[in-house]
């Protein structure tokens, strides 16, 4: 008869650990070092999609709680033509393009282009990141979730810089929170920065010509935008010429 050998303590401990863990659920996998979770969870490889075409300063101006973004990219600092794209922030992948706008909606902006220091009457659109918190128009509310003010005061006549009729331009509008009280009707004329800094900067129906500082889209696109915007998603507009947005 052979003498029994003592079982090493380390092997006994391993066996007991394996037996105790049999049939129990495995612990949740932990993220790799440097991979973020929560708001801005990293996608595969730790990459979170950022809003394209923006530099660090512009991206940094987008509020952390914003989950919808209207990005208006001007063709040049002195151009009145631009392109509008829509994005939504996915909790796992970051900013994703919204199929609604496809490759981009053509738009008009201020007749003289863009400005980092917009003032009343300069015919330029203000560069920056602004909230979208109020809407309205001459037509009935199409079903937007934004506060909507239907008023006859949105009636407009006359002609634009190219001689084009302006009638119907304010059938639908979304107020851009530049030099205004957020959440109020687009008709509110309160100017926190002072009257000399201009105001009444809106997204509105295109009249086939440059604006005095607003951004304009076709009537069907404005209606789609109104239906897409959701105040619970803290929507913002990021606007400027391409070079300014890259800062």
Show the tokens assigned to 123: 């015919």
pTM equals: 0.81
**The tokens 């007991």 sit on which residue?**
16
Question: Which residues make Cβ contacts (< 8 Å) with residue 141, sequence separation at least 6?
Answer: 148, 150
pLDDT over threshold 50, residue 36: no
Give the separation between CA 127 and CA 116, rounded to whole angstroms. Answer: 5
Show the tokens assigned to 236: 């913002």
Q: Which of the pair, 122 or 43, is modelled with greater confidence?
A: 122
143-159, pLDDT tens digit by residue? 999 999 999 999 999 99
Q: 68 - beta bridge partners? A: 88
**The tokens 């006859």 sit on which residue?**
152
Which CATH code fits 44-245? 2.40.440.10
Angle (CA) 157-160-161 rounded to 5° is 155
Q: Give the domain ranges of the chain.
A: 44-245
pLDDT over threshold 60, residue 42: no
Average pLDDT, the chain: 86
């Amino acid at each position: 008869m052979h003498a029994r050998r003592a079982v090493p303590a380390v092997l006994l401990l391993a066996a007991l650990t394996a037996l105790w863990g049999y049939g129990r659920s495995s612990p949740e996998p932990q993220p790799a070092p440097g991979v973020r979770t929560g708001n801005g969870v990293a996608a595969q490889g730790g990459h979170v999609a950022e809003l394209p075409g923006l530099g660090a300063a512009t991206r940094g101006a987008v509020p952390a709680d914003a989950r919808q973004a209207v990005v208006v990219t001007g063709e040049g600092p002195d151009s009145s033509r631009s392109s509008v794209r829509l994005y939504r922030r996915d909790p796992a992948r970051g900013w994703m393009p919204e199929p609604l706008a496809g490759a981009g909606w053509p738009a008009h902006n201020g007749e003289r282009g863009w400005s980092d220091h917009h003032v009343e009457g300069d015919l330029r659109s203000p560069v920056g990141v602004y909230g979208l918190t109020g809407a309205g128009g001459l037509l009935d509310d199409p079903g937007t979730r934004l506060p909507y003010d239907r008023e006859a005061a949105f009636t407009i006549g006359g002609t634009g810089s190219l001689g084009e009729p302006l009638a119907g331009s304010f059938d639908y509008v979304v107020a851009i929170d530049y030099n205004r009280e957020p959440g109020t009707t687009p008709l509110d004329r309160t100017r926190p920065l002072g009257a000399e800094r201009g105001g009444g900067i809106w997204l509105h129906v295109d009249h086939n010509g440059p604006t005095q500082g607003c951004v304009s889209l076709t009537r069907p696109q404005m209606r789609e935008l109104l239906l897409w915007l959701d105040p619970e998603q803290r929507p913002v507009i990021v606007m400027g010429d391409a070079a300014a947005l890259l800062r």
